[in-house]
Structure 1
Amino acid sequence: MTLLRQRAALSLDERLAALDEAAELAYGRLDPGVVAAAREVVTRAGARRGLSLDHTVVALAGATGSGKSSLFNALAGDEVAAVGVTRPTTDKAQAALWDPEGAAPLLDWLRVPRRHVVAASSPDGTAVSGAEQGPSGLILLDLPDHDSIEASHRLEVNRLVGLVDLLVWVLDPQKYADAAVHERYLRPLARHQDVTVVVLNQIDRLPASAIDPCVSDLRRRLAEDGLDGVRLVAASARTGAGLPDLRWMLAASVSRRRAWADRLAADAAMTAGALACESGPPEAGATLTRGAPDREPGPRSQDATPPAQWWQLAAAEDRRGPRRKDRRGLRPNRAPAVDALAAPLTSALSEAAGVPLVVEAVAKAHRYRSVVATGWPITRWLRRLRPDPLRRLRLTTGPGDPRLASSAPYIGLGTPPHDVHAPGDSGQTRATRSGNAVDSGGEDRPRGGLAPTGGGAGDVSGAEGVPQSRREMWVGARSAPGRDVERSSTAGRPGTSKHPAGLRPGSGHVVDRTSLPGASAVQRSRVETAIRDVAQEASQGLPVPWAAAVRRAAVSRMAEIPDALDRAVATTWGDARAPRWWRVVGAWQWLLLAVAAAGLLWLLALVGLDYLRLPEPPVPTLGELPWPTVLFLGGVLAGLLTASLTRLAAWAGGRRRARRTARRLQTSMDRVGRDLILAPVAAELDRHRRFTQCVDISRAG
């Protein structure tokens, strides 16, 4: 009950603001005609507020022969409208004004040129009684017949029915049950019963005993149309019966000066209901829906769509939604939290990015560099003949490199904000490195003929021999033959635009692209399957158009994934700095080598003296072994033993560094997945949640 009281207390400004926001949130997702209609209601509300609020526009509408022109003359107290037996008699709307001051701009906005000012006295000079004189501020319109054989008459009725402040439907005993008025006007405008009056005219043609049964039957039919609380008057324009009651109703509505606000609130509620219904599943949908688009419509296609008319909105709401008394607010989706969907996505991205390969290379590189730094100096050079596993992948810097300090915020975040390039880097060089060609105007254009990616890591060149980026390989493999690679969503990123590969704005340096092999077809398929699973899980419980929007959001930045993964691996794979103990052990190895060399030189000197038959100097001994031999053999054996022990330490250190690298890369992959996939999905879910709130606010009351 508290929520209902809060909703009832919402002002018109709050409802219109919520409707405007709901239209903005539904842009590109729901039927463009309904979205345009919501914006048109907000615009019309602003226009109506800018006109006279002291006047209330009341329109008399009815079928041919219902006597609305006679009723118009009776209320105006003068023969303003022509009354005749030929049909139709009224061809243009005309107005009767009791207070013309300030009413001209309002009638100009309504496009009603025929205007009659009701005099305060009758033509014979006698004063009009208070019961016959209309209230100040009343503008009474006589509309053409809604069932006229002239199409222009029907169009004029439909236009003004959607604009006036108060509607008076004039029915007659002969055709009050006609389906045309009930199905085309009364039932669609059920939300507008607070600004609707129904007059059963010409009751003088009925016997006195038949008036009450006829009125009861009409009220029953109105209740079936959803107008169970509408004001109903039985009257006769010829005899004047019921006219005082009708004048009193009109005077009460005009004196409140709120009919225009009630009308706009009803329009906002009806339009919000149509938005809510367009957001529903197609099996319960209205024929107005043209289907959820597979891609985000451009601004031209949306803006060029004319707004749906009030009868279309009402028809959509009536077909898709429950009856007015049973309507409830939209229910937000009960999809799982987006964070819970990150684990399988991160796993697929890690495999596609080559994380297992990098982790293995880190362990091997640690052992390789340990041997180079701490191995026996005599055999150490043999290790240098083998390539460094990380250098083969062009992973030679770690996060401690000062070149990456200013680039860290852009890891996996898409387009850098500034167009900068390395000093001395020409436009032609930059375009060649990024895999694009540059035309005479300096603008990038993609190279043609992307090579297939099934050949492994070595098959990564385009038709002109220029190395492809991982993105080109990814997108090229997914594109159908002859289909151009998308560039709109990747403008400004490495490999697709004027930014060189791996460029970091503001740093003045280039982070080289890695040489990791491109993702295989199986790995790409795993990533796409993971993305589809994320979209499927996130869109559970959503209406069909919003579920389609979530799926589009999940793949909206898919073209950025390859380069983002490559940058993430290149900048967060691990720390390239060598452990300090390597230097100590390396110095120890050189010391042992020096000892062995000293022993060897001593032995060679002794051999030389013996060869020259010179007297041998005394040689100190260590037990039974001479010191030159001890120094030589001890230095060699100690060096080999140290190298063997450091290999064991390097193996353990490589495992530890590989585990740290795996954790870092998993965190980086998780960040890429959240930035490029989960964040757009979460934004779309939040957009739908806010949409349902705004629609509920607009429909309140």
Structure 2
Amino acid sequence: MEQSWDDGLIARRADNRAVYDDEAVPDTGQGTAHVPIGSPYAGALRDRLDALRELVGLSATRLDGRTLAEAGRVLDEAAARQRLSSRHTVVAIAGSTGSGKSTLINALAGVPVSETGLRRPTTAAPIACSWSEGAAELLDRLAIPGRLRRRPLAGGAGDEALQGLVLIDLPDHDSAVTAHRAQVDRVLGLVDAVIWVVDPEKYADAVLHERYLRPLAGHAEVTFVVLNQIDRLPGDAAHQVLDDLRRLLDEDGMALGEHGEPGATVLAVSALTGEGMGELRELLGAFVQGRNAAARRISADVDAAAARLRPVYVGDGRPGLDERAQEDFGARLAVAIGATAAGEAAERAWRRNAGRACGTPWLRLWRWYERLRTPAAREPQQPAPVEDELTARQRVEHAVRIVADQAAYGLPAPWAQAVREAAVRGAQGLPEALDELAVKTREPKPGGRPPRPRWWALAVLAQMSMTLLQVFGALWLVGQIVGVLDPGLLPPVLVMLAGIIGGPLVEWACVAGARGPARRYGQEAERRLREAAASCGRAMVLDPVAAELMRYREVREQYATVAGSRLRTG
């Protein structure tokens, strides 16, 4: 459906050009100045229409066209009505077969406007009766041809109170002719107000209440319910039927305008004898002279559209992601890429490096020989099994599902689905990105080894000293054996033993001293990997989800403006 909703620009242009509703309208002597076509909606109604327009725009990509169709229709009708005469009030007279609609409009007009008789249906097409000039465009909008347009009292000056009134006599809503019912439904969606005419026999008709009155209960302020033909009821029967009619309207959910409260006007008349017609004329005149029926009808339409849209904008609870949920998501991603295992591996690497750096030269020489003998041992890394890769991917997907469900909790179904889809789209490529991130994070710093503390140099110097003691003691002993030095077995042996025992003692002390730094190094590596995983998950999943939640909050605020007090009391 094309959404070309008016924002008042057309009406303002009309005002600026001083275009008048029917410029050729003659002076009726009533002192009524020319009024520009239409007038911008003011106050709360204007804000609600603007909010509804914004709401539809923000929701177009999230909701299907059928859901927004009614809101679009309301905006279209509001714009169309705004461009037309604001000094005319279009009131439809609707009722069932034989209810006396035509007789009622003839009694109000004072002249035969609509045909009456025993043949049914009497009214085959909508007939208009205008109490003043300038309603041509309004009647064009209702598609009422010129031959079915009437004027009361040969000019319409007979009743000043009804100046500006346009009455539309509709076909019977229960007509056997489908086209007649279709015309009733079409016109009822375009008029400013409606007078429902019921008779003592059909006032409780289920079709009337279920198809019309109950769905239009929110339009009570622009609704009149007239019990006609009370002249056929003896004694207090008219009051009893009227009370029963009010009861049925109350069951329909239609508020009644009693004791000064806003709501539907209910009264009993006899169009044939004229009983109650004076009161009806007076109430109708006050209604027309208020010049706000069109705005009240549009406001009721907005209420109805808001009520239909409520399930797709109002959910239970307070949707969103708190800090705990975001931290849990980062923790699950860290588990998926093995942050803990990476930290433990970094700790083992640091301790292994410490052992190599602070070990005895003979042990380091032996390890060098082993590496020469088995070159494959230089790089003990092996590709991860396929099962582990699949497990990591499944863990990532599981983490995404959990955070998406947490973010969507309490949202209306369409927006919950939009949040989940945003999470799934963001998660595409997330396992690969995390794997690449893990490789970069695990790579050692320049130099190929973990950083060495300063005390390692002292440990290396101590090991060199122990080695020198071993060498010195061995040379001393060899010198004694070959006779170069004076014999004395104990001193060189003690020196050699000091070097032999001191080397492993220094290595053991270094290993013990390396535990704390190694643990901190592993924890730092784990922390970096966890932060990197959380940052990657935030950029690819949490940020799109947050954007979707922000959009929902925007439309929720717009909907609150559209719904007004109904959202707070609903």
Structure 1 length-normalised TM: 0.60
Contact residue 109 and residue 152 of structure 2 kept, 8 A: no
Give distance in 2, aligned partners of 1:575 and 1:55: 83
Distance 2:169 2:150 in 1: 14
The Cα shift of 1:336 comes to 8.5
Quote the offset at 1:650 in angstroms: 5.0
Residues 1:366 and 1:142: Cα distance change in structure 2 (over 3 Å): same
Q: Give, in whole Å, the separation in 2 of the partners of 1:169 and 1:633.
A: 118
3-state SS, counterpart of residue 431 of structure 2? helix
Alignment of 1:391-470 (within 5 A): 392=381, 457=384, 459=386
Structure 1 residue 696, shift from structure 2 partner: 4.5
1:303-353 alpha-carbon deviations (Å, 9 max, x no partner): xxxxxxxxxxxxxxxxxxxxxxxxxxx674056953223454334322221
| CA shift in 2, pair 1:582/1:170, >3 Å | same
Change (3 A) 1:650 1:180: same
| Number of the residue aligned with 1:46 | 79
* Distance in 2 between residues matched to 1:113 and 1:368, nearest whole Å: 98
State the one-letter code of the partner of 1:215.
Answer: L
**Could you tell me which of 664, 674, 689 is aligned with 2:528?**
664
Residue 428 of structure 2 aligns to a residue whose secondary structure is helix
Picking from 275, 278, 281, the partner of 1:241 is 275
**2:188 equivalent to 1:161:** yes
Hey, what does 1:105 align to over in structure 2?
Answer: 137
| C-alpha displacement of 1:109 | 3.1
Give, as a single letter, the amino acid of the residue that structure 1 aligns with 2:530: Q
Distance 1:235 1:563, change over 3 A: same
Q: CA deviation digits over 1:187-213, x for unaligned, max 9?
A: 111110001111222333334643333
SS in 1 for 2:389: coil
2:292 match: 258
Are residues 273 and 550 of structure 1, via their aligned partners in 2, closer, same or farther at CA, if it must alter by over 3 Å?
same
Amino acid at match of 2:158: S
CA shift in 2, pair 1:382/1:190, >3 Å: farther
Does the CA-based 8 Å contact 1:18-1:695 persist in structure 2? yes
Q: Which residue of 2 aligns with 1:35?
A: 68
Pairwise mapping of residues 633-672 of structure 1 onto structure 2 (< 5 A)?
652-672=516-536
Give me the whole-angstrom Cα distance separating, in 1, the residues matched to 2:43 and 2:395. Answer: 50
For 1:561, which of 408, 424, 430 is the aligned residue? 430
Give the match for residue 358 of structure 1.
Answer: 342
**TM-superposed deviation, 1:31:** 7.1
Match of residue 58 from structure 1: 91
Residue-pair matches, total = 501
Match in the other structure for 2:332: 348
Corresponding residue for residue 209 of structure 2: 182
Is the 1:374–1:589 Cα contact (8 Å) retained in structure 2? no
State which drifts further: 158-167 or 106-115: 106-115
- Residue 150 of structure 1, aligned match among 177, 184, 194: 177
Q: 1:267 aligns to what?
A: 301
Q: Structure 2: how far apart are the matches of 1:110 and 1:14? A: 27
Deviation sequence 1:10-63 (CA, Å, 0-9, x none) = 701232344445556666776753332123323332332233222222111111
Encode CA deviations 1:94-139: one digit per residue, 9 max, x unaligned.
32223332x333333333334666558538xxx85336x7313x22
Correspondences of 1:172-251 after superposition (within 5 Å): 172-207=199-234, 209-229=236-256, 230-251=264-285
1:426-575 to 2 correspondence within 5 Å?
457=384, 459=386, 518-520=389-391, 523-535=392-404, 551-552=420-421, 554-573=423-442
Q: What CA distance in whole angstroms lies between the structure 1 residues aligned with 2:370 and 2:512?
A: 16
- The answer to whether the 8 A contact 1:66-1:170 is kept is yes
CA RMSD of aligned residues (A): 4.6
- Counterpart of 1:562, as a letter, is P
Map 1:81-96; keep pairs closer than 5 Å. 81-96=114-129
- Describe the SS at the equivalent of 1:518: helix
- Asked whether 1:129 is paired with 2:161, we answer no
CA deviation vs aligned residue, 1:394-450 (integer Å, no higher than 9, x gap): xxxxxxxxxxxxxxxxxxxxxxxxxxxxxxxxxxxxxxxxxxxxxxxxxxxxxxxxx
Aligned-partner Cα distance in 1 for 2:415–2:379: 51
Structure 1 residues not aligned, in runs of 5+: 1-8, 280-329, 394-455, 461-516, 611-615
Matched AA of 1:255: Q
Structure that is richer in helix per residue: 2
What SS class does the counterpart of residue 11 from structure 1 fall into?
A: helix
2 CA distance for matches of 1:352 and 1:381? 36
Residue 576 of structure 1 pairs with residue 503 of structure 2: no
CA distance in 1, matches of 2:182, 2:150: 28
Stretch moving more, 139-148 or 370-379: 370-379
Calculate percent identity across the aligned residue pairs: 40
Cα 1:92–1:636 change in 2 (3 A) is farther
Change in Cα spacing, 1:115 to 1:368, as seen in structure 2 (3 Å) is: farther
Q: How far did 1:178 drift?
A: 1.1
Alpha-carbon contact 2:56-2:71 (below 8 Å) kept = yes
Is the contact made by 2:306 and 2:559 (CA closer than 8 Å) also made in structure 1?
yes
For residues 105 and 387 of structure 1, the distance between their equivalents in structure 2, rounded to whole angstroms, comes to: 92
| Residues 531 and 197 (structure 1), Cα distance of their counterparts in 2 relative to 1, 3 Å cut | same
Contact 2:459 2:510 in 1 (8 A): no
Distance change >3 Å, CA 58–CA 666, structure 1 → 2:
same
Distance (Å, rounded) in 2 between the aligned partners of 1:360 and 1:387: 20
